[in-house]
Amino acid sequence: MVERKYLTYNQVHKLCQNAAPKILDEFKPNLMIAIGGGGYVPARILRSFLKTPGSPNIPIQAIGLSLYEQLSEEGPEEEIGTKVTRTQWLDFTSLSNTNLIGKNILIVDEVDDTRTTLQYAVQELSKDVQLQAEKLGGNPPKTNFFIFVLHNKDKSKRGTLPEEMVKAGRYLAAETVGDVWCCYPWEAIDIDEHDKLAAAGEATAQKDATNGTNH
């Protein structure tokens, strides 16, 4: 059975809070793109911590990508597919905030599992930037992509990110975990039971850490 890691809203909130100074100082985003559905809540929480006095809120746009295909009958786990399905994308005809040229764009998702979804997002958004640049002509300012995830699973990845993005440190995971199934609170049907499971998991982890220290 897959090991589960239950997260509470408080824990997610604090992960975003702890990551915000680095994002603000080093990434300096002026547009966020949340990958749905797991990136919506972290992006909204993060925006509050990225707000600077005298500056407007950073706009959040949404894209919908699906990789997980089949629900498990025994729990919240889903099977990982091999193909990313685009269910929602940016509308470049109606909103000025979808002008990507010259922006520092922060892509937000909840978990970096196989990295397939993140690879797809960066590749497809880069194509959109190229198309916009060709329409503008001349020498438009560079667009930079950054990535923030709540959890990176410490495992081999199917997908890859651009080498220059990785070398420049434009990827940030608030927390690195093993190959566990992360259960986020917005997925819960019974939030009270979810929080109890999260508390039990924390207590077990602390006990294991203490026993390891004593030995």
Alpha carbons within 13 angstroms on the beta-carbon side of residue 71 total 5
Would you tell me the crossing angle of helices 40-50 and 9-22 to the nearest 10 degrees?
A: 50
Rounded CA separation 68/148 (Å): 20
Tokens of 208: 């294991």
Residue 63: which domain range?
Answer: 10-71+80-176
Identify whether 200 is part of a domain.
no
In-domain check, residue 187? no
Asked if residue 202 is part of any domain, the answer here is no
Q: What is the pLDDT along the chain (215 residues), one digit of tens a residue?
A: 789 999 999 999 999 999 999 999 999 999 999 999 899 999 999 999 999 999 999 999 999 998 755 445 556 666 666 689 899 999 887 656 668 999 999 999 999 999 999 999 999 999 999 999 999 888 999 999 999 999 999 999 999 999 999 999 999 999 999 999 999 999 999 999 999 999 999 998 888 777 765 54
Q: Is residue 192 part of a domain?
A: no
103 in a structural domain = yes
Q: What is the DSSP string of 71-83?
A: E-SSSS-EEEEEE
Structural domains of the chain, count: 1
Q: Confirm whether 148 is domain-assigned.
A: yes
Q: What is the pLDDT of residue 138?
A: 87
Residue 206 is assigned to a structural domain of this protein: no
State the Cα–Cα distance between residues 52 and 47, nearest whole angstrom.
10
Residue 193 belongs to some domain of the structure: no
CATH of the domain at 121: 3.40.50.2020
Check if 192 is active-site. Answer: no
Best CA proximity match to 97, nearest among 64, 127, 56: 56
Q: Name the catalytic one among 91, 113, 154, 208.
A: 113
